[in-house]
Amino acid sequence: MITFEQLQKTYPSRGTGTPVQALADIDLTIGRGEIYGIIGRSGAGKSTLLRTVNLLEKPTSGRVLVDGVDVTALSARELREARHSIGMIFQHFNLLSSRTVFDNVALPLELAGVTKAQIRETVEPLLDLVGLTDKRDRYPAELSGGQKQRVGIARALASKPKVLLSDEATSALDPETTTQILHLLADINKRLGLTIVLITHEIAVIKEICHKVAVMENGRIIEQGPVFDVFAHPKHETTKTFVDPVINRGIPDSLRARLSPTPVAGSNIVLRITFTGERATSPVISAISRKLNLDLNIWHGQIDEIQGAPFGTLVVEAIGNPQSIEAAISLLNVNKLGVEVLGHAVPGNLRAAV
Amino acid sequence: MLSPEIYALLFKALLDTLYMVAVSGLLGTALGLPLGVLLAVTGRGELLQNLTFNRIAGVLVNMTRSTPFIILVVAIIPFTRLIAGTSIGTAAAIVPLTVAAVPFIARIVEGAVREVDRGLIEAAQSMGATPFQIIRKVLLPEAMPAIALGLTLSVVSLIGYSAMVGAVGGGGLGDLGIRYGYQRFLPEVMLAVVIVLIVLVQIVQSTGDWIARRVNKRNLKS
pLDDT over 90, % of chain B: 72
- Is 90 exceeded by the pLDDT of residue A216? yes
Quickly state the pLDDT bin for A349 (edges 50, 70, 90).
Answer: very low
Complex ipTM = 0.86
**pLDDT at position B186 over 90:** no
A27-36, A121-130, A321-330: which has the minimum mean pLDDT?
A321-330
Query: A107 vs B124: CB contact, 8 Å cut-off?
Result: yes
Min mean pLDDT across A56-60, A160-164, A310-314, B32-36 is at A310-314
CA–CA separation, B92 vs B104, rounded Å?
20
A77, β-bridge pairs: none
Q: pLDDT tens digits, residue range A241-288?
A: 888 777 666 677 777 788 888 888 778 888 888 877 665 555 778 888
Mean confidence (pLDDT) of chain B:
92
Minimal C-alpha gap between A165 and chain B (Å): 10
> Residue A159: is its pLDDT beyond 50?
yes
The minimum CA-CA distance between A77 and chain B, rounded to whole Å, is: 9
The residue of chain A with its CA nearest to that of B136 is A111
B residues 109..128 contacting A (CB < 8 A): 117, 119-120, 122-128
Q: Do B130 and A80 touch (CB under 8 A)?
A: yes
Residue A87 backbone class (left: φ over 0; alpha: ψ -120 to 50; beta: rest): beta
CB contact under 8 Å between B141 and A99, yes or no, is yes
**Contact call for A90 and B218, based on CB within 8 A:** no
A338 pLDDT exceeds 90?
Answer: no
For residue A138, list chain B residues with Cβ-Cβ distance below 8 A.
222
pLDDT reported for residue A264: 81
Where are chain B's structural domains?
Answer: 4-216
Residue B145 has pLDDT above 90, yes or no: yes
Q: Is the pLDDT confidence value at A352 over 50?
A: no
Average pLDDT over residues A114-143: 94
Is A139 within 8 Å of B125 when comparing Cβ atoms?
no
B4-216: CATH number: 1.10.3720.10
Nearest of B213, B145, B117, B150 to residue A96 by alpha carbon: B117
Q: How far is A132 from chain B (nearest CA, A)?
A: 14
Task: Produce one character per residue of B45-81: b if its CB has 16 or more CB atoms within 10 Å, e if not.
Answer: ebbbeeeeebeebbeebeebeebebeebbeebeeebe
What is d(CA A336, CA B43) in angstroms, rounded to the nearest whole number?
Answer: 63
Q: What is the pLDDT at residue A289?
A: 84
Beta bridge partners, B217, equal none
What integer is the mean pLDDT of A67-87? 93
| pLDDT tens for each residue of B73-120 | 989 999 999 998 888 888 889 999 999 999 999 999 999 999 999 999
Identify any residues that bridge with A269 across adjacent strands, giving them in sequence order.
A318, A344
B-chain residue closest to A55, CA distance: B126
Of B119, B124, B138, Cβ closest to residue A92? B119
Residue A348's pLDDT band, with cuts at 50, 70 and 90, is: low
Q: Do B128 and A139 touch (CB under 8 A)?
A: no
Q: Is B133 on the interface with A (CB under 8 A)?
A: yes
Between residues B139 and A229, which one has the greater pLDDT? Answer: B139
* The pLDDT of residue A350: 43
Partners of A71 on chain B (C-beta within 8 Å) are none
Among A87-101, A109-123, A246-260, B160-174, the least confident range: A246-260
Which residues of A fall within a CB distance of 8 Å from B144?
Answer: 98
Q: Tell which of B44, B118, B127, B211 to mutate to test the A interface (max A CBs under 10 Å).
A: B127
Instruction: Give the pLDDT confidence score for residue A280 in this predicted structure.
Output: 53
Distance CA A231, CA A312 (A): 9
Taking 90 as the threshold, does the pLDDT of residue A43 lie above it?
no
Q: pLDDT at residue A353 above 50? A: no
Nearest to A342 by CA among A275, A274, A271, A273: A271
Structure confidence by residue, pLDDT tens digits, A308-317: 777 778 888 8
- Say which residue, A341 or A194, is predicted with more confidence: A194
Q: How far apart are CA A62 and CA A221, in angstroms?
A: 15
Cβ neighbours of A107 in B, within 8 Å: 124, 127, 137
Assess A83–B contact: CB distance below 8 Å, yes or no: yes
**pLDDT value at position A255?**
76
The closest CB to that of B137, out of A82, A94, A110, belongs to A110
Question: What mean pLDDT do residues A189-197 have?
Answer: 94
